[in-house]
Amino acid sequence: MAVRKFKPVTPGQRNKVISAFDDITCKTPYKPLLEPIKKTGGRNNQGKMTVRYIGGGHKRMYRIIDFRRDKDNCKAEVMTIEYDPNRSARIALVKYEDGEKRYIIAPNGLKVGQIIESGAGVAPEVGNALPLSDIPLGTLVHNIELRPGQGAAMARSAGTFAQLAAREGKHAILRLPSGETRMVLVSCRATVGTVSNPDHNLESHGKAGRRRWLGRRPRNRGVVMNPVDHPMGGGEGRASGGHPRSRKGLPAKGYKTRNPKATSNKFIIERRKK
CA distance 222 to 226: 8
Predicted pLDDT of residue 1? 62
Distances (CA, A) of 139 to 36, 165, 192, 194: 37, 8, 7, 10
What is the pTM for the complete model shown?
A: 0.92
Q: What's domain 3-201+263-270's superfamily in CATH?
A: Nucleic acid-binding proteins (2.40.50.140)
CA distance 91 to 105: 5
Q: How confident is the model at residue 273 (pLDDT cuts 50, 70, 90)?
A: confident
Predicted pLDDT of residue 189? 97
What integer is the mean pLDDT of 28-51?
Answer: 96
Of 109, 83, 85, 82, residue with least CA distance to 93: 82
Distances (CA, A) of 179 to 141, 142, 268: 15, 15, 11
Give me Rg for the CA atoms of the chain: 22
What integer is the mean pLDDT of 138-155?
Answer: 97
Read off the pLDDT of residues 60-91 as tens digits, 9 standing for 90 and up. Answer: 999 999 999 999 989 999 999 999 999 999 99
Residue 177 has pLDDT above 90, yes or no: no
Residue 167 has pLDDT above 80, yes or no: yes
125: left (phi over 0), alpha (psi -120 to 50) or beta: beta
Read off the pLDDT of residues 109-144 as tens digits, 9 standing for 90 and up. Answer: 999 999 999 999 999 999 999 999 999 999 999 999
Mean pLDDT score across all residues of the chain: 95
Burial of 3 (C-beta count, 10 Å sphere; 0-12/13-18/19+): middle
What integer is the mean pLDDT of 57-61?
Answer: 97
CA distance 129 to 125: 9
Read off the pLDDT of residues 203-245 as tens digits, 9 standing for 90 and up. Answer: 999 999 999 999 999 999 999 999 999 999 999 999 888 899 9
Percent with pLDDT over 70 in the chain: 99
User: Would you kindly state where each structural domain of the chain is located, as residue ranges?
Assistant: 3-201+263-270
Measured on CA atoms in the order 119, 34, 197, 152, is the torsion positive or negative? negative
Would you say 123 and 130 are in contact if contact means Cβ atoms under 8 Å apart?
A: no
Would you say 154 and 182 are in contact if contact means Cβ atoms under 8 Å apart?
A: no
